[in-house]
Amino acid sequence: MNDLVFGRRYRVVEKIGSGGMADVYKATDEVLGRTVAVKVLHAQYASDQQFVARFRQEAQAAAHLSHPGIVNIFDWGHDEETYYIIMEYVRGTDLKTLVTERGPLDSLKAAEYGSQVCAALSVAHGYDVIHRDIKPHNIVLTPEGQIKVMDFGIARMGNTQMTQTGSVLGTAHYVSPEQAQGRKLGPASDLYSLGVVLYELTTGRLPFDGDSPVSVALKHVNEDPIPPRQINPNIPAAMEVVIMRAMSKDPSQRYASAEEMRRDLQRVASGRVVETQPAAGQTTVMPVVERDAMQSSRVRPVPRRSNPWPWIIGVVAVILVGIGVAWAMGAFDTAPDKIKVPDLTGMTVKQAEDALKAIQLTVGDIEPTFSQEESGTVVGQDPEEDAEVDAGAEIKLMVSAGLELFKVPKVVDLTEEEAAQKLIEAGFELAPAQREYNSKVNKGIVFKQTPEAGQKVPKGTRITLVVSEGTELREVPKVTGQSRSTAENDLTSAGFKVKVNEEYNDTVPESEVIRQSPDAGSFAEAGSSVTIVVSKGEELISVPEVRTETEADARTMIDDLGLNVVVNYQVTVNPDEDGSVLNQDPLPGTSVRRGDTVTIWVGKMPGP
């Protein structure tokens, strides 16, 4: 596997995944020394020139996206007929695996994950990049609790199936109705798919299933899902509202943007009421329609011509009888009529005014009241429903001011026990604490809280504390005797940074690790540096040119290179050659080892 290299720099370490479109490998970038993921497209796509052109265009578009929640694309290219994409290597678990292994997730945690996905989608949609294949398999949860969305710009080409009519379907269980019908897609399509993901995370089930991808896609187009709370009653009502709005069949009935959906999911995560508008088909309170308006809309039949007098006499007789009965029952007393007060709860103030006006009553005092009901909704009235009052009477309304909000106290820098006590005394609840290594914070101390200190939230909101586990120590693996690339990969995989020094060594082959610091088997802080000394091989020295040099200069030049020198004297009759080097062995430019001998011949005039 180590022999597989892409682009002459990305050396494969191991295969980490495979799908219908590509195989994924973990690799080392030998130029920058970092770990990356290499997505290698299957050979069937390489022969399709239209696909290759779109692949290039989409990879380049996705490479412009920069956001902590988006898996970065670093590079792309091809070796002969093999096309590949170089991506950020992310350690973690995809949400599909998470929900498969653990079952339904806590709704508030699912809302938090969904809000992070929305943040990533908001950036992509700002660049006109539609993901087209949002599904839990493409959403990774890192050990730090951060969400990463993968495969931006890739899903358009891959992971698709064709119907007989040629319309393209994405992954069938998460496809939007418009995508299933082959219509033009916009940001709302990604939001629908995210709604399906949240449905699955909170219920542990997919909203639609079938014998084939086409049958599942048709259900997305034609059928309504079972409301999530019918499957899992523990799901908050606000979470169900968000999911059902995101999964509206009509894109115009969904959220207008990923940012709008993110804000609602953040409200759910913090236990607040969402501000989403009811989609078509949801129950709303309608103002009272006056009887005159109803009667005026009826079509009156044209009476036939006949003798009117028998009818007139009959009507007069009925009226006289009715007047007599009414008189006997006191209908003509001077006391005013009594009016029965209607139920106004659940209405807006305007709807309540209209309803009272229609029966000759008016709105009196309006008293703001903290309530779980939506702000502006009537939650109480005085007199109550069915009470009898005089015409023109005023009805006092108690109107929801929303949930009463309280400021979250600061508990960062406290111990876990101190933080818990302070939050409980302030009327908040605690979510299960998260524990992370942090070399800058002592073990057992809170270094992060959600919601943050100073934020105003309803009482009873669950506060998540992130508690330090102290410094993470990891065992340093043994890398001496290994090749440089293998040593760097082993140390990086163990969670260390690598610092490389080089030196010549006569006994250790070139590119092999001579020694390391800290030593193998010792423990060091995760993320700290391990220094390795790599052999440059045996040091060879190039013999200098010393011919024509004086004997003294030649000796100095050879000694400075760590070589030994042997001097022979040769008789010469040329005065210019007296004391100069006439010849040497080895010749200039010859490679020799440190400590080897260079012999020189020095001219010497004969004596008298």
Tell me the pLDDT tens digit for each residue of 366-398.
998 887 788 888 989 999 988 999 998 999 999
HSE-up of residue 500 (Cα within 13 Å, Cβ side): 20
Averaging pLDDT over each range in 273-282, 337-346, 439-448, which range is the top one?
A: 439-448
Over 312-338, what HEC string results? HHHHHHHHHHHHHHHHHCCCCCCCCCE
In the predicted structure, residue 302 carries a pLDDT above the cut 50: no
**Burial per residue of 466-475, b for 16 or more beta-carbon CB atoms within 10 angstroms, e otherwise:** bbbeebeeee
Say how far apart CA 465 and CA 451 lie, in whole Å.
9
Quickly state the pLDDT bin for 502 (edges 50, 70, 90). very high
Q: How far is Cα 406 from Cα 461, in angstroms, rounded to an integer? A: 10
Greater confidence (319 vs 358) lies with 358
Contact assessment for residue 588 and residue 553, using Cβ atoms and an 8 Å cutoff = no
Q: What band does 457 get if pLDDT is binned at 50, 70 and 90?
A: confident
> What SS3 state is found at 131?
coil
pLDDT in the model for residue 53: 67
**Alpha carbons 370 and 352: distance in angstroms, whole number:** 19
Mean per-residue pLDDT, 341-354: 90
Please check the confidence at residue 167 and state whether its pLDDT lies above 90: no
In angstroms, the CA 579 to CA 551 distance is 6
Which domains are seen in the chain, by residue range? 1-89 (3.30.200.20), 90-278 (1.10.510.10), 338-400 (3.30.10.20), 405-468 (3.30.10.20), 473-535 (3.30.10.20), 540-604 (3.30.10.20)
DSSP 8: T
pLDDT at 356 over 60: yes
Concatenating the DSSP letter of every residue in 321-384 gives HHHHHHHHTTTTSSSPPEEEPPP-TTSBHHHHHHHHHTTT-EEEEEEEE--SSPTTBEEEEES-
Distance between CA atoms of residues 128 and 153, nearest Å: 11
Cβ–Cβ < 8 Å for 399, 377: yes
pLDDT, residue 166, reads 35
pLDDT in tens, 540-571: 999 999 999 999 999 999 999 999 999 999 99
pLDDT band, very low/low/confident/very high, at 456 (cuts 50, 70, 90): confident
pLDDT at 47 over 80: no
pLDDT of 31 strictly over 60: yes
Active site residue 133: yes
Of the chain, the percentage scoring pLDDT greater than 90 comes to 52
Strand intervals (E) in 153-272: 161-162, 168-169
> Residue 445: which of 477, 470, 409 has the closest Cα?
470
Considering the entire predicted model, what is its pTM? 0.47
Strand ranges inside 460-595, DSSP E: 462-468, 473-475, 497-503, 513-517, 523-525, 529-535, 540-542, 564-571, 581-585, 591-593
What does the chain come to in residues? Answer: 608
Question: What residues does 568 pair with on adjacent strands?
Answer: 601
pLDDT level of residue 603 (50, 70, 90 thresholds): very high
Task: Determine the Cα–Cα distance for residues 220 and 200; give it in Å rounded to an integer.
Answer: 14
Question: 190, 258 in Cβ contact below 8 A?
Answer: yes
pLDDT band of residue 218 (cuts 50, 70, 90) is: confident
The amino acid at residue 345 is T
Write down the pLDDT at residue 160.
38
Residue 45: predicted pLDDT? 72
Q: What is the mean pLDDT of residues 437-463?
A: 90
What is the average per-residue pLDDT within 574-588? 93
* 475-502: average pLDDT: 95
What is the predicted pLDDT for the residue at 314?
A: 54
Sheet holding 139-141, edge to edge: 93-94, 139-141, 147-149
Return the biggest CA–CA distance within the chain. Answer: 177
Q: CA–CA separation, 606 vs 578, rounded Å?
A: 10
Q: Which is more confident, 427 or 187? A: 187
Q: DSSP letter string over 248-285?
A: -SSGGGS-SSHHHHHHHHHHHHTTPPP-PPPPTTS--P
Name the residue among 195, 115, 107 with its Cα closest to residue 149: 115
Question: What pLDDT sits at residue 289?
Answer: 30
**225 or 80, greater pLDDT:** 225
Contact status, residue 171 vs residue 165, Cβ threshold 8 Å: no
- Catalytic member of 29, 133, 151, 264: 133
State the pLDDT at residue 306. 46
Task: Say what the alpha-carbon torsion angle 367, 372, 377, 383 is, to the nearest 10 degrees.
Answer: -50
The pLDDT assigned to 224 comes to: 92
Minimal CA–CA distance to 500: which of 285, 118, 512, 84?
512
pLDDT of residue 315: 52
pLDDT at 318 over 60: no
Confidence of residue 523 (pLDDT cuts 50, 70, 90): very high
Write out pLDDT tens, residues 61-118. Answer: 677 787 889 988 888 888 877 888 898 899 899 999 999 999 999 999 999 999 999 9
Angstrom distance (rounded) from CA 489 to CA 513: 13
- Picking from 199-208, 323-332, 443-452, 478-487, which range would have the lowest pLDDT averaged per residue? 323-332
Taking the CA atoms of residue 508, residue 512, residue 518 and residue 521 in that order, the dihedral angle to the nearest 10 degrees is: -100
C-alpha radius of gyration, the chain, whole number: 41
Average pLDDT of span 141-165: 63
Question: Average per-residue pLDDT in the chain?
Answer: 84
| Collapsed DSSP state (helix, strand, coil) of residue 493 | helix
At 202 the pLDDT is 97
